[in-house]
Structure 1
Amino acid sequence: MPLLMTWDEWANLDAIGLAELVSKGQITSQEVSQQAALAIDALNPKINAIIEVFDDAVSDPVKDGTNPAGIFAGIPYLMKDVGPTLKGRLQEMGSLLMRGNRSTADSFLTERIRQAGLNIIGRTTTPEFGLCSSAENPEVYVTRNPWNLDYTTCGSSAGTAAAVAAGIIPISHATDGGGSIRIPAGVNGNIGLKPSRGVFSIAPYGSDLMSVVSAQGCHSRTIRDTAAFVDNCRGGAPGEFMPYWFPPQPYSELIRRDPERLRIAVSHEWGDYRSTPHIVAELERAASFLEALGHHVEWIIPDIDFHAAYKAQTECYIMNFTQTISGLLDQKGLEKPPAGLIEPMCIRVWEEGRSYSYTQRAKMQAVFNDTSRRLASFFGDWDIILTPTMGLPTPLVGTKEYLTISDNLSVYEWFENLWGIFSYTPIANLCGLPGISLPMAELENGLPLGIHALTRQGDDGLLLQLGAQIERALNGKWNHGRRPAVHVTAI
């Protein structure tokens, strides 16, 4: 099959750029999907990011209901293998237990994605049920970082992160329950926005009231792609419990102008957790860069009870994943998780969570409420909280302490270990805040390091507006203009 364009041309086009060519009739959505499939064939054996390609959707981009008149004009898109469902397609959630599980209907967000013109051509990898930090169970798959195959992509949006970073596609689906959009975006050099609670629906299988901390979103390589995705896929399904945010103007318009002078609070000393000296130095450089753009920058730590917040977050994870696993067991008529089909830490989480009471849930939610109020008060004086996306360097593949195949017998120690490296992202989930990871920095070994920004609930556009200002100042050269070792331009 001849190439539609050179791989250099391909890598220099974002999703909107490809869609504009399709809309002008210069290329077809089928040709774009076919070139994406060629990229998968060439690179996926190295990074193991895509579980399955839907050949019928590649051949016929409107087959599953994709709207060719949508903003994305039928260009290809990949769906993380947990969260929104695809009618007639497998959704196996990174678990041996769920092998062969086939969805019977599209989720509401899936319908919105198709209506926006995105052609879903396959599934990307995720750790079991999206619980841990990397898609690394050798019995299922091991997803590798395209910048250096010895390192993890982190997660849980592992395959999406690797696929976008490697240039296979410009935009792909991701989810975030504690940083799972932002962490792999930071590790792989992508843009990752976790939206406010009340932007993307998870109907009909859940709601903001039920899921509390989980959010949907995407990875991209340009701010305008993320803005267009939010603009065109947001909104609640009929019967949502929570209110849904709608800005006074589309983000795609808002990002064309710089934000006013912002008050930016920079920090990394959160409770017991600290970043490494090199990461702190990269944070300092990012803060100085923003100061040079005209913003007021000051080192100040948010006034919240970090110990209580991390404890509540841990309890929320245990309770939520216990319910998730229990629901899947009920579907299969099982009383307990089969040891050979569910990973050890997921079983321990299920066992621990079964003993939790409603009283404990209410106490957890009270901490959520107090933390949210305190941060809202903080945002009365500050517009942005700036931190690193991670506090410690990217782990090597096979670092079991962060994985659900860990042999740690203590659920609580395991979670505390996670917070030690992923210190800064969970607070956004706890409070329903928007957060974004921007590919502005790098680790000592040359791997990307994301810089993380938080703002008040419902003000997602401010993060995108700041990101667009930075993108313009960098002349679009995120990651200092570098590309991963495994990349379409090296095919």
Structure 2
Amino acid sequence: MTLAMSWSEWAAHDATALADRVRAGEISPAELAAQTKAAVAGLNPALDAVVELFEDVIADPLKDGMNPDGTFAGVPYLMKDLGPTLKGRLQEMGSFLMQGNKPQADSHLTAKIRSAGLNIIGRSTTPEFGVCSSAENPALFTTRNPWNLDYTTCGSSAGSAAMVAAGATPISHGTDGGGSIRIPAGVNGLIGLKPSRGVFSIAPGGSDLSSVVSSQGCLTRSVRDTAAFVDACRGGAPGEFMPYWTAPEPYAELVKRDPGRLRIALSHEWGDNRATPHIVSELERAGRFLEGLGHHVDWAKPAIDYAAAYQAQTTCYITNFAQTIALLLEPRGITRPPEDLVEPINIRLWEAGINASYSERTRMQMAFNTTSRGFGAFFEDWDIILTPTIAKPTPKIGTTEYLTVSDNPSVHDWFANLWQIFAYTPLSNLTGIPGLSMPFGRQENGLPMGIQAQTRQAGDGLLLQLAAQVERALDGKWNGGEKPSNHVTRLAA
């Protein structure tokens, strides 16, 4: 088939630019969808990042209710196979247990995404229930990093990160319960924002009360695309347990201006967790770069009990996922997770958390409170805290110690090991503050390295402003202008 653009032309457009061309009448949403379909066909055999494409909405982008007058005017979008539901479409959550599962209604955020003019054309990979750091269960799929196929994309927004980095589509869906947007953004060379609480709704299946640590969002290659997505998709549904706040002005406008001089703290020693020397040197380089932009930069970190915070986060995950699994078992008439359908660590999560007491959750919530107050006090003196996105290099494919196919008999030990590599992202989920990963450094293995900026609650716009300032200073060339070895520009014309 004849495509509307060459691959080099396609790769030069972010979602905002593609939408502008649609509005100018130069290209149609159906042509955009066909181009993404061709990209997936060329890339997915190596990357294993897309579970399914929806041929009917590729042929007819209006079929499921996409608003062609929305911000993104029909730009193709992959939905992570977890979180917001699509009426009548499969959602299998990376699990054998959920094969054939078809939700009967759209989620509130699904409607927002379609109203924003994003054409949801398929499902991207995720580890089982989004629990672990990589979409790797060889019996289902093994999602690989487009920069080097020997490495993972990390997770849990694995497939979306791979396809956006490889240029198949400029924007796709992610969820973040402990870094699952920011971590894959970091190791695939993308922009990934975990917003503050009160931005994206998870109605009707959950709320900020029942799913206090998890956030929705997207992965992109440009700051303005992320800003536009937040502007278009934010907002609560009827019956939320908490207020959903709005920003004083659209982020799409805000990011056009540089922030004022910021007080930026560098940090990587969080409790017993430390970054490797190379990663620390990249963090220091980022600090010097920001000093060059006129900001005040020094070493500092919140005065909190890090061990108690990680323990509370572990308790939260164990008890939350135990209930998630139980609620999936119940309609199937199953009383415990079957070993042939659920991965080993997820079975142990269920065993460890299903009978947790109210007292355990109360102690967890007390630690959440004291940690949140500690971060709040810190941000009275500092505007931003800058950390690496991960503390150790990206694992190679098959590093099972971080996977839910691990044979580790202790989920507590498994999580403690996870925090050693993913030390810097989960506490923003605990506290509800925003965190943004931007692709500023390089790992020793050659893969991109994310630098994470975090700030006070509802400071999402400041993070986007800072990232946009960096983007302009780099002349828009994240990752030094380099592209992954598996990329649309390397496909046959």
TM-score by length of 2: 0.99
Matching residue's letter, 1:368: F
**CA shift at 1:75, angstroms?**
1.3
Partner of 2:419: 419
The answer on whether the counterparts of 2:66 and 2:117 sit within 8 Å (CA) in structure 1 is yes
CA-based RMSD: 0.5
The answer on whether the counterparts of 2:49 and 2:144 sit within 8 Å (CA) in structure 1 is yes
1:413-435 Cα offsets, whole Å, 9 max, x none, are 00000000000000100000100
Structure 2 CA distance for aligned equivalents of residues 245 and 133 of structure 1? 31
The answer on whether the counterparts of 2:87 and 2:105 sit within 8 Å (CA) in structure 1 is yes
Partner of 2:246: 246
Partner of 2:177: 177
Structure 1 CA distance for aligned equivalents of residues 111 and 161 of structure 2? 22
Structure 2 CA distance for aligned equivalents of residues 444 and 131 of structure 1? 27
Structure 2 CA distance for aligned equivalents of residues 200 and 302 of structure 1? 27
**CA shift at 1:355, angstroms?**
2.6
Matching residue's letter, 1:449: M
Partner of 1:472: 472
Structure 1 CA distance for aligned equivalents of residues 245 and 188 of structure 2? 29
**CA shift at 1:331, angstroms?**
1.6
The answer on whether the counterparts of 2:393 and 2:445 sit within 8 Å (CA) in structure 1 is no
**CA shift at 1:167, angstroms?**
0.3
Partner of 1:375: 375
Partner of 1:71: 71
Structure 1 CA distance for aligned equivalents of residues 421 and 294 of structure 2? 31
Partner SS for 1:209: coil
Q: Which consecutive segments of 4 or more residues in structure 1 shift more than 2 A?
A: none
Partner of 1:20: 20
Matched, 1:91 2:91: yes
Structure 2 CA distance for aligned equivalents of residues 332 and 179 of structure 1? 31
Partner of 1:385: 385
Matching residue's letter, 2:333: G
Partner of 1:115: 115
Matched, 1:401 2:378: no
**CA shift at 1:87, angstroms?**
0.5
**CA shift at 1:103, angstroms?**
1.1
Matched, 1:44 2:44: yes
Partner of 2:410: 410
Structure 1 CA distance for aligned equivalents of residues 200 and 432 of structure 2? 12
**CA shift at 1:313, angstroms?**
0.2
Structure 2 CA distance for aligned equivalents of residues 119 and 408 of structure 1? 41
1:6-38 Cα offsets, whole Å, 9 max, x none, are 100000100010000001111100001000000
Partner of 1:218: 218
Matching residue's letter, 1:66: M
Structure 2 CA distance for aligned equivalents of residues 329 and 459 of structure 1? 39
Partner SS for 2:218: strand
Q: Percent identity?
A: 67
TM-score by length of 1: 1.00
1:194-232 Cα offsets, whole Å, 9 max, x none, are 000110000000000000000000000000000000000
Structure 2 CA distance for aligned equivalents of residues 292 and 139 of structure 1? 49
Partner of 1:157: 157
* Equivalent runs, 1:233-382 vs 2, <5 Å: 233-382=233-382
Structure 2 CA distance for aligned equivalents of residues 302 and 292 of structure 1? 25
**CA shift at 1:100, angstroms?**
0.3
Structure 2 CA distance for aligned equivalents of residues 287 and 246 of structure 1? 30
The answer on whether the counterparts of 2:132 and 2:402 sit within 8 Å (CA) in structure 1 is yes
The answer on whether the counterparts of 2:128 and 2:343 sit within 8 Å (CA) in structure 1 is yes
Structure 1 CA distance for aligned equivalents of residues 246 and 410 of structure 2? 42
The answer on whether the counterparts of 2:147 and 2:485 sit within 8 Å (CA) in structure 1 is yes
1:339-377 Cα offsets, whole Å, 9 max, x none, are 000000000000000231001101100100111011111
Structure 1 CA distance for aligned equivalents of residues 434 and 75 of structure 2? 27
The answer on whether the counterparts of 2:301 and 2:378 sit within 8 Å (CA) in structure 1 is no
Matched, 1:80 2:80: yes
Q: More displaced, 121-130 or 353-362?
A: 353-362
**CA shift at 1:139, angstroms?**
1.0
1:51-79 Cα offsets, whole Å, 9 max, x none, are 00000010000100000000100111000
Partner SS for 1:206: coil
Structure 1 CA distance for aligned equivalents of residues 435 and 286 of structure 2? 16
1:257-287 Cα offsets, whole Å, 9 max, x none, are 0000000010100000000000000000000
**CA shift at 1:163, angstroms?**
0.4
The answer on whether the counterparts of 2:290 and 2:297 sit within 8 Å (CA) in structure 1 is yes
For structure 1, the residue ranges without an aligned partner over 5 or more in a row are none
The answer on whether the counterparts of 2:231 and 2:251 sit within 8 Å (CA) in structure 1 is yes
Partner SS for 2:446: coil
Structure 2 CA distance for aligned equivalents of residues 132 and 413 of structure 1? 14
Partner SS for 1:87: coil
Structure 1 CA distance for aligned equivalents of residues 233 and 246 of structure 2? 12
Matching residue's letter, 1:343: E
**CA shift at 1:445, angstroms?**
1.7
For structure 2, the residue ranges without an aligned partner over 5 or more in a row are none
The answer on whether the counterparts of 2:7 and 2:489 sit within 8 Å (CA) in structure 1 is yes
1:320-354 Cα offsets, whole Å, 9 max, x none, are 00010000000211001010000000000000002
Partner SS for 1:210: coil
Partner of 2:57: 57
Partner SS for 1:208: coil
Structure 2 CA distance for aligned equivalents of residues 400 and 345 of structure 1? 11
**CA shift at 1:169, angstroms?**
0.2
Matching residue's letter, 2:68: P
The answer on whether the counterparts of 2:84 and 2:107 sit within 8 Å (CA) in structure 1 is yes
Structure 1 CA distance for aligned equivalents of residues 355 and 89 of structure 2? 35
1:39-62 Cα offsets, whole Å, 9 max, x none, are 000000000000000000100001
Matching residue's letter, 1:225: D
Partner of 1:434: 434
The answer on whether the counterparts of 2:51 and 2:124 sit within 8 Å (CA) in structure 1 is yes
* Equivalent runs, 1:136-215 vs 2, <5 Å: 136-215=136-215
The answer on whether the counterparts of 2:194 and 2:435 sit within 8 Å (CA) in structure 1 is yes
Partner SS for 1:463: helix
Structure 2 CA distance for aligned equivalents of residues 2 and 380 of structure 1? 56
Matching residue's letter, 1:195: P
